[in-house]
A and B are shown apart, each in its own frame.
Chain A
Amino acid sequence: MKIMVAVKHVVDYNIVPRVKQDGSDVEISGVKMGINPFDEIAVEEALRLKEKGIATEIVAVSIGAENSKDTLRHALAMGVDRAVLVQAEGKLQPLGVAKLLKAVAGREQPDLILLGKQAIDDDAGQAGQMLAALLGVGQGLFASEIKVNGNEIEVNREVDGGTETVALQLPAIVTADLRLNEPRFIKLPNMMMAKKKPIDVIAGTELGVDFASHLSLLNVAEPAPRKPGVIVNSVAELVEKLRIEKVLA
């Protein structure tokens, strides 16, 4: 089967982002960027399905500016066969991304589409579900384990208060949770090899879908800082303080 994996180029998860001076947006120029961690897990899962002989081809797709190629190269170096960049400048929202992904899926005809459960920049967690709705297929969200059985994929999902297992008819969408796997490290030779693998570039405007933004960003701000805390010297003092705060009976 053929797998399509959607990957997003985001600010590195270790970076504490800063607000631009005029409060118009988050400052991302000159900031270290990389593959969205959940998408890396999705790529890893696709690779494991290929190593098990279940997947035959893996295509990574990213939507965004030219620099998203870095994240596609990362996926190629991990072992993805080829990559597609849908060039779309400006602010993209999950609905527009889902529409563009649907158009790419129409060309590629994958049996399974993997995404991360959310991107760590906008924390929206919508693209997978929206894509599933647009394609009219089932969604296995927050996957912590998957098993392909013929024309069905069994997905163990992380849900509030426990886990749940659902079986989806293929083609289907699965979004990766943290616990799905531990992504592999990239070895230097693979990094060099990835440079030779193809990245098809498609202009978003060529795909014939309206991916205009429905949301405008009015401003961004850092949350109000907490008032400085105090260090207490003993458990007894701690309990006393909490009683004064009335958070302990």
Chain B
Amino acid sequence: MSVLILAEHDGQHIKQSTRQAVTAAAAWQHPIHLLVVGADVSAVAAEAATIAGVAKVIKVEAPHLVHLLAEDVAAAVQQIAAEYQVIVAAHSTLGKGVLPRVAALLDVGMVSDVVEIQAPATYVRPIYAGNILATVQSSDAVQVVTVRATSFEAAANGANAEITSAAAPAAFGKVRWVSEQRNLSDRPELATASVVISGGRSLGEQFNTLLEPVAHKLNAAIGATRACVDAGFAPNDLQVGQTGTVVAPELYIAVGISGAMQHLAGIKDSKVIVAINHDPDAPIFKHADYGLVADLFKALPELNAALG
């Protein structure tokens, strides 16, 4: 028996979260196969085959798979699922869309957003916005699991796995891709960046002007609170928290963020948390390793200058 990982890619490269899923999947001690789905994924499959720990890469290509609609990707997983005991993906947009669908098609339950694999069917996962960690045991013959990528190290290169192809199932047909709007940025990806600097609503119109230079010097991703996003100061995909992106960088800098429970859920596992806020009573200070009580409109330019 083997473990199947649904690989995530941008059409060119394998995403970091897939490497993290490979590390997580080692817990089952079975051969690991990566499934790469898309329209033209030869380069991605070749890269996937080099990830240490990967025994085989399965390529499923078809023109209709270009936008990775969950309905079609789930069908691609389902057609080979019988050969696997475990089906894994990162808990990202792709994994969240596809794996519950796969689980239902296989008539098994699913475990979402796993942060620790204690035994082959025993998992730890956060519930209640990360306020509680639940240890659960699955009784299903096939384990369908999404993993919180940042809870696992990324697997490095070092393999030379076999690449095979499987036929693509017919298009689902009841869903049509219309358009997309990607917020292109040369900053590292929020979910996997080693430094993240986030701003709250109080940055207002100066959100970018103040955070960009500091983020540039730190090679950091930029994040935001829900209030900041709702107020229109930052785009939606920057939201960090229970319902946005969960991050766990080496360094998280929260600027002008009070520290609501739903935001803390997304940053708790950061190695070092820094809070800069003018309100000494802000709850964020209870969770920060280093706190600076200061006016952020002064502190941010100062920090920018101090970083040289």
A: residues with CB less than 8 A from B are: 11, 13-14, 16-17, 19, 26, 93-95, 98, 117-118, 120-134, 137-139, 141-142, 144, 154, 158-169, 172, 177-179, 213-223, 226-227, 229-236, 238-239, 241-242, 245, 247-248
Residues on the B chain within 8 Å of A165, using CB? 177-180
Residue in chain B with minimal CB distance to A230: B290
Taking a contact as CB atoms under 8 Å apart, the answer to whether B97 and A235 are in contact is no
Q: A221-B133, A232-B290 are in contact. Are A126 and B112 (CB under 8 A)?
A: yes
Q: A167-B175, A230-B290 are in contact. Are A162 and B183 (CB under 8 A)?
A: yes
- Asked whether B29 is an interface residue with its Cβ less than 8 Å from the other chain, the reply is no
Q: Report the bound CA distance from A56 to B11 in whole Å.
A: 43
Residues on the B chain within 8 Å of A226, using CB? 268, 273, 287, 289
- Asked whether B302 is an interface residue with its Cβ less than 8 Å from the other chain, the reply is yes
Taking a contact as CB atoms under 8 Å apart, the answer to whether B236 and A163 are in contact is yes
Taking a contact as CB atoms under 8 Å apart, the answer to whether B261 and A16 are in contact is yes
Residues on the A chain within 8 Å of B285, using CB? 229, 231
Taking a contact as CB atoms under 8 Å apart, the answer to whether A215 and B138 are in contact is yes
Residues on the A chain within 8 Å of B237, using CB? 158-163
Closest 5 pairs between A and B when the two form their complex, measured CB to CB = A214-B109, A129-B100, A130-B104, A133-B104, A126-B100
Taking a contact as CB atoms under 8 Å apart, the answer to whether B96 and A123 are in contact is no
Taking a contact as CB atoms under 8 Å apart, the answer to whether B132 and A19 are in contact is yes
Cross-chain contact of A238 among B74, B181, B303 (Cβ < 8 A): B303
Taking a contact as CB atoms under 8 Å apart, the answer to whether A239 and B71 are in contact is no
Residue in chain A with minimal CB distance to B138: A215
Taking a contact as CB atoms under 8 Å apart, the answer to whether B112 and A238 are in contact is no
User: 0/1 per residue, B167-194, Cβ < 8 Å to A?
Assistant: 0000010111111111100000101000
Taking a contact as CB atoms under 8 Å apart, the answer to whether A231 and B243 are in contact is no
Q: Report the bound CA distance from A93 to B111 in whole Å.
A: 10
- Asked whether B201 is an interface residue with its Cβ less than 8 Å from the other chain, the reply is no
Q: Report the bound CA distance from A124 to B242 in whole Å.
A: 11
Residues on the A chain within 8 Å of B96, using CB? 125, 129, 141
Q: Report the bound CA distance from A229 to B271 in whole Å.
A: 12
Residues on the A chain within 8 Å of B180, using CB? 159, 162-165
Taking a contact as CB atoms under 8 Å apart, the answer to whether A229 and B132 are in contact is no
Minimal beta-carbon separation of B293 from chain A (angstroms): 7
Chain A interface, >50% SS class: mixed
User: 0/1 per residue, B129-141, Cβ < 8 Å to A?
Assistant: 1111111111110
Cross-chain contact of B133 among A141, A223, A242 (Cβ < 8 A): A223
Taking a contact as CB atoms under 8 Å apart, the answer to whether A241 and B243 are in contact is no
Taking a contact as CB atoms under 8 Å apart, the answer to whether B109 and A231 are in contact is no
> Which of B137, B174, B183, B286 has the largest count of A CB atoms less than 10 A from its CB?
B174
Minimal beta-carbon separation of B294 from chain A (angstroms): 7
Q: A95-B110, A138-B175, A168-B175 are in contact. Are A179 and B137 (CB under 8 A)?
A: no
Residue in chain B with minimal CB distance to A171: B174
Taking a contact as CB atoms under 8 Å apart, the answer to whether A219 and B135 are in contact is yes
- Asked whether B92 is an interface residue with its Cβ less than 8 Å from the other chain, the reply is yes
Q: Report the bound CA distance from A160 to B92 in whole Å.
A: 7
Q: Report the bound CA distance from A214 to B291 in whole Å.
A: 44
Taking a contact as CB atoms under 8 Å apart, the answer to whether A160 and B245 are in contact is yes
Q: Report the bound CA distance from A158 to B241 in whole Å.
A: 14
Q: A167-B176, A168-B174, A239-B306 are in contact. Are A215 and B236 (CB under 8 A)?
A: no
Taking a contact as CB atoms under 8 Å apart, the answer to whether B134 and A220 are in contact is yes
Q: Report the bound CA distance from A233 to B280 in whole Å.
A: 12
Minimal beta-carbon separation of B180 from chain A (angstroms): 4
Residues on the B chain within 8 Å of A122, using CB? 127
Minimal beta-carbon separation of B305 from chain A (angstroms): 8
Cross-chain contact of A161 among B70, B183, B218 (Cβ < 8 A): B183
Residues on the A chain within 8 Å of B104, using CB? 95, 98, 129-131, 133-134
Residue in chain A with minimal CB distance to B122: A218
Residue in chain B with minimal CB distance to A221: B133
Taking a contact as CB atoms under 8 Å apart, the answer to whether A239 and B139 are in contact is no
Additional 5 contacts, C-beta under 8 A, given A163-B237, A220-B134, A247-B250: A129-B104, A220-B127, A222-B132, A231-B280, A248-B307
Taking a contact as CB atoms under 8 Å apart, the answer to whether A236 and B306 are in contact is yes
Residues on the A chain within 8 Å of B189, using CB? 161
A-B contact pairs, 26 of them (CB 8 A): A17-B128, A17-B132, A26-B127, A94-B100, A118-B243, A123-B125, A125-B96, A126-B103, A126-B112, A132-B101, A133-B102, A139-B97, A158-B237, A161-B182, A164-B179, A214-B140, A215-B138, A216-B137, A220-B127, A223-B132, A226-B268, A226-B273, A230-B291, A232-B290, A238-B292, A247-B271
Name B139-182 residues within 8 Å CB distance of A: 139-140, 172, 174-182
Q: Report the bound CA distance from A234 to B243 in whole Å.
A: 33
Taking a contact as CB atoms under 8 Å apart, the answer to whether A215 and B111 are in contact is yes
Residues on the A chain within 8 Å of B302, using CB? 235
Residues on the A chain within 8 Å of B306, using CB? 235-236, 239
Residues on the B chain within 8 Å of A220, using CB? 127, 132-135
- Asked whether B113 is an interface residue with its Cβ less than 8 Å from the other chain, the reply is yes
Residue in chain B with minimal CB distance to A219: B135
Minimal beta-carbon separation of B11 from chain A (angstroms): 13
